[in-house]
Every structure is written in structure tokens, then in C-alpha cells.
Amino acid sequence: MNVLMVCLGNICRSPMAEGILNHIAASEGLDWAIDSAGTGSWHVGEAPDRRAVNTCRKNGIDISGQRARHFEQSDFRDFDLILTMDRSNLDDVLLLARNDDDRGKIKSILHYADVTGDVVPDPYYDGRFDEAFDLINRACSAIVRDAR
């Protein structure tokens, strides 16, 4: 399966989600292609936020080699599942969808977690990286469990 994680700038939530899902999928022996992108383009080429890197590192996941990129319409062709971190990201990606097949690939990541709401808080502004990590980890664990 090819999975794309999407947030606003691709330096906090979606890189953590990419790293977490890669880690869980690899530990389960799954040969998945996982990437991340942002709906905004101002961080393209940058490494993840150091706070995201540190949060993942303390949980045994290295995301330091990732680089931000912008979501592109070709991502609909290249990915089976496109997971967004909040309603704004979901709406932005839906606006780029060309047809029902594209729209069918897009979901909130928290669709897979047993939580109320559909927003992974953006820790860039409030520093809630541990909370974001925990929510994303719950969702990614469920994605892998459901794929089995």
C-alpha cells in the first residue's frame, strides 16, 4: 500500500505520521511506501521541526532525514490512501481532487483512531508534540491492524 500523510507545512505532524507509520509497518513486515507532504509550500526542502524530530527520537523513530515537499495533484495517482491531519488540510486536498476516485482516497487520519474529533492539534504553535505523536500513533496502529 502507498500512503501519503498531509499537514499544513510538512514539518511537524505529517513527518511524524510518515515516520510512525513507516516504523509500525516495518515492524509488521509490511512493504508499504509511505511519504508526507504539505498543503502549503513555504517549508519545501526543509527538515522537520526539531521538536518533531526530538519527539519521534525519544519514541525510537528517526525522521531527521525527511525533507518537506508540497502536495501535488500527481499524488492522487501515486498513493492509495491520503491521510490529512485536520479539517483544513482535508478541505485543501479535496479541492485538488479531479474525480470520485481521487476523493475516495482522502481521509482524516483520525478516522482510524478511537478518538472524538478529526483534528491532530498543530504542535508548531503550541508545542503539544507528545499529544500529536500519541494521536498519530494510535491512528497508525489502527491502520496497520485494519490492513491485516
91 assigned to active site? no
- Kindly name the residue from 12, 13, 69, 75 that is annotated as catalytic: 13
Domain spans, the chain: 2-147
Q: What is the pTM of this model?
A: 0.97
- Kindly name the residue from 35, 75, 86, 122 that is annotated as catalytic: 122
3-state secondary structure of 145: helix
- DSSP alpha helix (H) spans, 31-99: 50-58, 75-78, 87-96
Reading the chain (148 residues) residue by residue, the pLDDT tens digits are 999 999 999 999 999 999 999 999 999 999 999 999 999 999 999 999 999 999 999 999 999 999 999 999 999 999 999 999 999 999 999 999 999 999 999 999 999 988 888 899 999 999 999 999 999 999 999 999 988 7
49 assigned to active site? no
146's grid cell: 485494519
CATH code reported for the domain at 2-147:
3.40.50.2300
7 assigned to active site? yes
Q: What order of strands is seen across the sheet that includes strand 106-108? A: 33-38, 2-7, 81-84, 106-108
